[in-house]
């Protein structure tokens, strides 16, 4: 009906569904409700063909596979950004003499001391990092952020996902 130039109201009459529901369905697929644009996307295909790439803000309309792919890409990007931020930060050299910071929840490798203490020797805000247990491998690890699994297991999981999508993409080609 879209290809034949039906309007939403007409489709609603034929399908017995509300205009709102049809608009919603069209938007889920093509990220626009404008039927001329949708027609251009569909071209000679069927409804559901030639879908536009989904930006991250449309994550809710992605397939589970794409969502997983985005998650891997985002965590890679976050890692890169963290690396750059660390390189541009001078706090590691400023606090180089204070080994205690590595065990303190207030230490941030980019921002430095988040409790605003000048050094670890005169500090009264020290707060020891609590041990956490990896649900995947059972190891005890120390991290400021609460995590279900350890760093190594997170890296392994990302590698696994990357391999999976490399194989999936090969099949597609």
Binding part of the chain for Zn ion, among 58-66, 77-85, 94-102, 152-160 by CB under 5 A, reads: 152-160
Distance of CA 109 to the CA centre of its chain: 22
* 155 forms part of the interface with Zn ion (CB under 5 A): no
Minimum separation from the CB atom of position 130 to Zn ion (A): 17
CB closer to Zn ion out of 40 and 155: 155
Which residue among 136, 148, 155, 160 contacts Zn ion (CB under 5 A)?
Answer: 136
- Phi/psi region, residue 148 (left: phi>0; alpha: psi -120 to 50; beta: rest), is alpha
* 150 forms part of the interface with Zn ion (CB under 5 A): yes
Which residues, 6+ apart, have CB-to-CB distance to 117 below 8 Å? 106, 123, 124, 125
Beta strands in 11-122 (DSSP E): 107-108, 112-113
Minimum separation from the CB atom of position 80 to Zn ion (A): 23
CB closer to Zn ion out of 86 and 159: 159
108 token code pair:
């941030």
Binding site for Zn ion (CB under 5 A): 134, 136-137, 150, 153
């Amino acid at each position: 009906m879209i290809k034949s130039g039906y309007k939403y109201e007409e489709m609603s009459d034929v399908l017995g569904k509300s205009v709102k529901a049809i608009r919603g369905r069209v938007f889920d697929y093509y990220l626009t409700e404008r039927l001329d644009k949708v027609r251009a996307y569909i071209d000679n295909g069927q409804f559901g063909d030639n879908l536009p790439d989904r930006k991250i803000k449309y994550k809710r309309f992605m397939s589970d596979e794409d969502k997983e792919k985005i998650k891997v890409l985002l965590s890679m990007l976050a890692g890169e950004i963290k690396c750059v931020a660390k390189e541009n930060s001078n706090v590691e050299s400023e606090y180089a003499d204070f080994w205690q910071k590595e065990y303190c929840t207030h230490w941030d490798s980019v921002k430095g001391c988040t409790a605003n203490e000048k050094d670890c020797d005169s500090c009264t805000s020290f707060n020891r990092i609590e041990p956490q247990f990896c649900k995947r491998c059972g190891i005890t690890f120390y991290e400021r952020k609460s995590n279900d699994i350890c760093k190594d297991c997170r890296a392994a999981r990302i590698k696994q996902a990357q391999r999976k999508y490399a194989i999936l993409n090969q099949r597609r080609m």
